[in-house]
Structures are given as C-alpha cells and as structure tokens.
Structure 1
Amino acid sequence: MNTNYIKFGVAIISTLTLASCGGGDQKAQQQGPPPATPVTTYTVAAQPVTTVDTYPGVVVALNEVELRAQVGGYVTAIFVKDGQKVTKGQKLYEIDRTKYQAAYNAAKADVAVAKANRDKTKKDADRYTKLAEQDAVAKQRVDYALTDLANAESQVAAAQASLSSAASDLQRSVIVSPLNGTIGISQIRLGAFASPGTTILNTVSTNDPMAVDIAINQAEISRFIALQKDASSAKDSVFTVQLQDGSIYNGQGKIIAIDRAVDPATGTIKVRISYPNPKGVLFAGMTVNLKALNKAANDQLVIPYKAVAEQLGEFNVYVVGDSAKATPRIVKLGKQFDQNVVISDGLKQGDVIVVEGVQNVRPGAVVKAASAEEANGQQPAAAAPAKK
C-alpha cells in the first residue's frame, strides 16, 4: 500500500518537472534575441589636421653684456640706480682714477721730451748733411747724426705708445654702457675693490625685442627650417607664448636662429624665436610654454577620442559591421587635439564606429542608432509643450 503511494508521488513530480521545463523553453522562445544596444556612431573620414605642440622655453635677451672692470682699483662712483634704463655710452661706474691720471700725465710728458730730443737730433743731422756736401765734415759724423735721429724717432714712437696705453687705462677707469637697455642690480658697492677682468660689476641687456629658446627633437629640424624660411609664419601666429599665470602673450614670434649642432646627449637642438616686447612683459630668465602649430602635410583619419577604449595597454574601438554587429578593433593613436584623436593604424576611411554608449557594447552585440542620452542610459529630454 505504501509502495503504491510512493510511485504515484514520483509520477506527479516528474510530470510537474517536465511541464515546468517545457514552459521555460516556450518562454525563452517567446522572448527572442536580446534587444539592440542604443549607440551613436561616427563615420571615419580623412581631414586636414593642425595640432599644437608644447615646448618648455626660457626667455633670453638678444643682447646681454656683463660689465667687468678692465682696470683694477676701488670703486669711487656709481652713476646709475639698479634696474635703470640706460643708453649707449652712458657713464655707469668709476674706478679710482688717481694713478691712471698720473700715468697719463707722465706718458704725455715723456712724449714731449722724446719729440724735443728728436727735433734736436734732426737739426744736427740736417746741419752735418749740408757740411758733408761741402766736404767740411767727415762722412762718418753724418752717419752718426742720422743714427741718432733714427733712435730719436723710435723713442718718440715708444713714448706715444705708452701715452696711448695710459690714455686707454684712464678711459677704462670709467665704465660706460655698451648698448641701449636696462641695467641689473649692482654686484659691487661704492668703495669696494674691483679686480681687472674678474670682478663683475653689473649686467646690461636689451629688452625689446626678446627671444624664447626651446629645445626640439632632431626629427623636427626640417620642419623648423621650413618655418624659418616661411615669412608668413609670424603673421599666422604659428608660435605663441603661454606665461606661468596661464595667460597668452600678445606678440607674433619668428624663428631667428637654429643652433649649429645637435646635443648628442639629449638628441635635441636649440631654436631661438624672437618676440617684440614694447611693454616689457617678457623678462630674461622667465620660464614659459611655447605652443607651436603643427599642420600635417596630408589629410589624416580623425575620430572622437571618447570612442576609444583602453584595455591592457592597447587601444580599441567598436566597428559596426554587417547586421549592425559591433566588433572591437585594435587601433594605434596619433596626436590628440581638442576632443579628437588621429588614428595612424587600424581604421580606414568609411568605417563606422561607436562613439556614445561604448561602455554598454559587448563584442558581437547588435547596435542601433540612438540619441546621446539614450546611448548613455539617460532619458531623452522631454519636448517643450506647444504654445496655444
């Protein structure tokens, strides 16, 4: 009796199990394939590309001179204030002139003595020469007189050379500005001793125009040579300077020099770009960012950067193929600019890629065109009610 109840229970459970399985299959068949993933797409196309390359730069003065004492002595006068504008030939410093004035006066007196001696020997030589013509004096005496005259002429020349040297030392005891510009903060004070050739008194530099020095990779040399030859590069604002506060300096720069050699240690070469500086905004030694426009020679493939996904160090995009299926494809990126990026390999013109909704796409998934809001899982904005 108990055995019959057990068999009947097993039969009922089996029937219910089969019924439930059959119902699951029917439900799965009724649901069908998963719905298409909403995305926005972009058709890959070639276009002109202009990117911006940024280089760290240093502002330098085109003309800068260190003022050094050329004669030794104590500083007896300073004629300018620190940071003052100066003009070429303006007196800046004075070294004690006492001994240099004395040396000049002594040399001047020596010249006068040498000339007087020369004049005397010349008269003697002329007199003996005339007497020799009349056979009134021995010829040897004439030779002695001419020799004395030659020696006197040499003494005059030597005295004049000493006078010139003394005059030069006297002149150098007053240091003047070698150019129009701005003088820096004095490195020596009144009464200090200045050694010739070693003591730096100050520095004078021009402040308009100024220049920015940058280091470029040797692979870019040909490009910068072309920009140097292109007279329109300054008008097109190819080079702009960004100051440390983030502001852009208002001035048109042009390449004035490319260094003679590449630094073998870094593989870079120095380029100097000149800028007008009428308002004195640029100061020597400032660090800036120089931004250079880089226009590609040929059109390049460009896509929105948001379409790119990175995984394990590789970049890929989803390409929409036949039957609207999205397939991942590895790409190589070029330069990024604005919100776009250049594709150097992996795509071709005409390919359709997923832009918005990439995070929801799986390999092989069917996608459909939708608004950006729908692709990102947001509700589309409601339409404004019509005005009555």
Structure 2
Amino acid sequence: MNRVILNTVFISVLIFSACKKKQPPVSNEIPVNLFKVNAKPVLYYDTYPSTTAALSQVTLLPQVQGAVTGIFFVEGTHVKKGQKLYEIDKKIYQDSYDAAVANRDVAKGTLTQAQQDADRYEYLNKYNAVAKQLYDHAVITLDNAKSQVKSSDQAVKTAKTNLGYAVVYAPFDGTIGFSQVKLGNVVTANSTVLNTISTDDPMAVDFVINEKQLPRFEKLQEQKHQTADSLFTILLSDNSLYPVNGKISVIDRAVNSQTGAITIRLVFPNPKGMLRVGMSCVVRVHSQEKGPQLLVPGKAVVEQMGEYFIYTAKDTMMNNPKAGADSVKNKIKKLVAVEKKVQVGQTIGANMIIKSGINSGERIVVDGVQLLHDGSEITTANKVGPSAGGKGGH
C-alpha cells in the first residue's frame, strides 16, 4: 500500500514538472508593427460639400390679366433672350389700343379746330372786332384741346404697353422649367407664376467654410489670375469628376456670427449643360503646399481630448534581469515606445499628413498602439499578433 502511494506521488511530481517546463517565460514586451516615416511630395485636396446655383434666376409673372392662348417653348430646355414664351389673350388689349388710337385722332382733330378758332379770334381781338370774352374762351378751349391730346397720347402708350405685355419673352439666355399654367388658364397680373428661368452657362457652385480658413480664400481670390488651372474642381453626385475647372468668384459679405461660417462662390463653365441648379456636389480645392510632406497611416495616430499623438520606436539600453549585478552583460538593448504630440494635417484616404512633432526617418508604431503608454517595451517579433495586422499603407 505504501509503495502504491509513493508511486502516485512520484508520477504527480513528474507531471507537475512537465507542465511547468511548458509554460513560456513571462515577457513585458508588447508586439507591434513599425513604419518608417519618409517625406515625399503629396497631392491632396481639401473637400467641401457644395450646391450648384444660377448666377441669375427670375420667376416669370404676367403683367396683364387674361387667358393663356399660347405656349411656345419646350419645358426644361435652353431658351434665348427675347424668345417668345407665352401669349395671353390679346383681343381685349388690341381693342383697347385701337380705341385709344381713335380717341387720340379725335383729340387731334379737336385741337386743330381749337387752334384755328383761337388764331381767328386773336386776329379779330387786335382790332377790337370781337368780344373779349369770346377771345378768352377760344384761348381756354385751345389749351384744353392740347391737354386732351397729351392725355390721349398717354392712353395710347399705356394701351400699347399692355398689348405688348400680352406676350411674355425670355429676359435672358437660360434654362426654362416646367410651365405652371396650361393653355386656357386665366392668369392674374403680378400674381400668377408662369415659370422660372435661370442662367445655365456659366454656373455658380456655393460652399461654406469656417472663418479660420477665410484668409486663405481671400488670398486665392486676389491671386485668381495666377493660380493653377486645376485649383478648383468638383465631384458630381455619382463621384465622377466634372471635366471643366472653375475659379473663385465671390466671397460672401459677412460671417455668420452664430456658426462662424461664410459662403464662397465658384464659377464653372457649363457649355454642355451638365450642371443644373440645385445639384449636390463636392468642391475640391487643390493643395498648394510645396515641398515633401510626412504621410503616415491614420491608424498610427491616437487622439486624446482633441490632441494627437504618435508612438515612435527608440532603441534604449536597459538592465538585463538575467545577468548579475557584477556581470559585464548587465545592459541590453531594448525597443521602447516614446509618445510624441503631433500636429495633423489633411486626411488622405487611410493616411494622414503630419505637419510637426516627428521627423523623416523615424519609426512609428502602426499596429498595437492601443496597448501602449509612454515608455512601454515593444518588440517586432510578433510573439502575439497585433490587434490590427499588417504594416500599414503608405
């Protein structure tokens, strides 16, 4: 019995020793992947949501009342300045004009008669051959006849204007929309909306910037004749690039005091009519920064309370825990993570421009940053795979 117990204890000790030998040594090193930073030329754009707008747009209202008797355009098409668009029943206005002309003719005849009477009485008055009262009446009648002619002239002009208003013409070249009235509809002067017409070439593109960016765009506006042709481009809603480049036109009058924003207007040629009023697009402002930039994988950048940090890898001599105090090998080289505060620039896809805080040639941690703090021991041996594998893209 004692022998069995001794054998059991011996086997247990062997098993315990075997399990103990299989356990890996404890390591404080955090596995990471590193990326060597190199400065290089970078092409990028600042992007802004934007909306197309017409440089000129007008709502067509009738100036006279009546039934619509003619529509002379195709909805949604380009029309020319002076093109006939609508006709409102002209009969009543033609009749009014004819009557005004007739009344003017009568007034002119009355004036001729009054002039003759006045001339005759003036001659007789010189020789006291007529009563003074008759002469005075003749002069008054002449003045009244002259006023009547002036009044009838004005009535003819008014009737002619109303007759002209019975036809609605395009005020400028542009695109006309859906007609808001049909044939036979009765319209009211200065009230009923007929249609809307807007200029279409060139087309405006409006976007909003923060007031902090205003000095940059004011400078671009001053230098608009010297800047590169590709400075302003737009992406359409299907993410395709509009084939014509634009230029800065107007900076709005004031900054919104509540939002700190201000509107910028660009102008783009639109010879093929690809742009229409109210389209959503994205303005791209070409970067004018010259010289090489430091571009790093975005996953290497850590944000803390609005500040940005990057961990760099630094070789450091540290005590060797396996060597004795008197050993000549009591120092070994270790890789340590050093936290550095950086100033970030534009985000370009999965990468980010670093404006300051690190230098070209430094190695930065791109995977495993979640486990680090300043001074952490790190290793690239990948004893345990980093949380986000790979070495990060350029």
- Shorter-chain TM-score bucket reads 0.7 to 0.9
Q: Which of the two has greater helix per residue?
A: 1
- Give the match's secondary structure for 1:151: helix
TM-superposed CA distance for 1:76, in Å, is 1.4
TM-superposed CA distance for 1:107, in Å, is 1.0
> Out of 267, 279, 284, which is 2:277 matched to?
284
> Who is 1:353 aligned against?
363
> Who is 1:185 aligned against?
178
TM-superposed CA distance for 1:139, in Å, is 5.3
> Who is 1:320 aligned against?
313
Structure 2: 5+ residue runs without aligned partners? 1-5, 317-334
Q: Quote the Cα distance in structure 2 between the aligned partners of 1:95 and 1:32.
A: 94
| One-letter amino acid of the counterpart of residue 337, structure 1 | I
Q: Quote the Cα distance in structure 2 between the aligned partners of 1:38 and 1:256.
A: 50
- Give the match's secondary structure for 1:80: coil
Q: Quote the Cα distance in structure 1 between the aligned partners of 2:185 and 2:120.
A: 58
Question: Does 2:149 match 1:133?
Answer: no
- Give the match's secondary structure for 1:215: strand
- Pick closer, same or farther for the CA change 1:51–1:197 going to 2, 3 Å: same
| One-letter amino acid of the counterpart of residue 196, structure 2 | T
TM-superposed CA distance for 1:104, in Å, is 0.8
> Who is 2:377 aligned against?
365
> Out of 50, 53, 58, which is 1:60 matched to?
53
Q: Quote the Cα distance in structure 2 between the aligned partners of 1:312 and 1:84.
A: 54
Identity %: 39
Scaled by the length of structure 1, the TM-score of the pair is 0.76
| One-letter amino acid of the counterpart of residue 140, structure 2 | T
> Out of 312, 335, 341, which is 2:346 matched to?
335
Q: Quote the Cα distance in structure 2 between the aligned partners of 1:203 and 1:361.
A: 62
Q: Quote the Cα distance in structure 2 between the aligned partners of 1:294 and 1:183.
A: 38
Q: Quote the Cα distance in structure 1 between the aligned partners of 2:71 and 2:255.
A: 43
- Pick closer, same or farther for the CA change 1:60–1:360 going to 2, 3 Å: closer
Q: Quote the Cα distance in structure 1 between the aligned partners of 2:268 and 2:389.
A: 51
Number of residue-to-residue matches in the alignment? 355
- Of the structure 1 ranges 95-104 and 146-155, higher mean CA displacement relative to structure 2 is found in 146-155
- Pick closer, same or farther for the CA change 1:302–1:79 going to 2, 3 Å: closer
Scaled by the length of structure 2, the TM-score of the pair is 0.75
- Give the match's secondary structure for 2:114: helix
Kindly report which structure 2 residues correspond to 1:45-124, keeping only aligned pairs within 5 A, or say none.
51-124=44-117
> Who is 2:266 aligned against?
273
- Pick closer, same or farther for the CA change 1:264–1:116 going to 2, 3 Å: farther
> Out of 209, 219, 223, which is 1:216 matched to?
209
- Pick closer, same or farther for the CA change 1:35–1:168 going to 2, 3 Å: closer
| One-letter amino acid of the counterpart of residue 353, structure 1 | R
- Pick closer, same or farther for the CA change 1:357–1:180 going to 2, 3 Å: closer
TM-superposed CA distance for 1:164, in Å, is 0.7
How much is the aligned-residue C-alpha RMSD, in angstroms?
4.1
| One-letter amino acid of the counterpart of residue 239, structure 1 | F
| One-letter amino acid of the counterpart of residue 95, structure 1 | I
| One-letter amino acid of the counterpart of residue 192, structure 1 | N
> Out of 36, 40, 44, which is 1:42 matched to?
36
- Of the structure 1 ranges 322-331 and 237-246, higher mean CA displacement relative to structure 2 is found in 322-331
Contact 2:30-2:376 within 8 A present in 1 as well: no
> Who is 1:5 aligned against?
none
TM-superposed CA distance for 1:254, in Å, is 0.9
- Give the match's secondary structure for 1:291: strand
TM-superposed CA distance for 1:180, in Å, is 2.1
Q: Quote the Cα distance in structure 1 between the aligned partners of 2:27 and 2:273.
A: 71
- Give the match's secondary structure for 1:104: helix
Question: Does 2:238 match 1:245?
Answer: yes
- Give the match's secondary structure for 2:147: helix
- Of the structure 1 ranges 182-191 and 320-329, higher mean CA displacement relative to structure 2 is found in 320-329
| One-letter amino acid of the counterpart of residue 95, structure 2 | A
TM-superposed CA distance for 1:147, in Å, is 2.7
> Who is 1:384 aligned against?
none
| One-letter amino acid of the counterpart of residue 97, structure 1 | K
> Out of 163, 166, 186, which is 1:173 matched to?
166
TM-superposed CA distance for 1:293, in Å, is 2.3
| One-letter amino acid of the counterpart of residue 218, structure 1 | E
Contact 1:233-1:254 within 8 A present in 2 as well: no
Q: Quote the Cα distance in structure 2 between the aligned partners of 1:244 and 1:290.
A: 11
Q: Quote the Cα distance in structure 2 between the aligned partners of 1:156 and 1:366.
A: 105
- Of the structure 1 ranges 131-140 and 50-59, higher mean CA displacement relative to structure 2 is found in 131-140
> Who is 1:308 aligned against?
301
Contact 2:80-2:174 within 8 A present in 1 as well: yes
Q: Quote the Cα distance in structure 2 between the aligned partners of 1:310 and 1:187.
A: 55
- Describe the superposition over 1:298-335 as per-residue Cα deviations: whole angstroms up to 9, x where unpaired: 98765443432457886432223452533233445343
| One-letter amino acid of the counterpart of residue 307, structure 1 | A
- Describe the superposition over 1:15-49 as per-residue Cα deviations: whole angstroms up to 9, x where unpaired: x9xxx9xxx9xxx9xx999899785453576x777
- Pick closer, same or farther for the CA change 1:369–1:224 going to 2, 3 Å: farther
- Pick closer, same or farther for the CA change 1:287–1:148 going to 2, 3 Å: same
| One-letter amino acid of the counterpart of residue 354, structure 1 | I
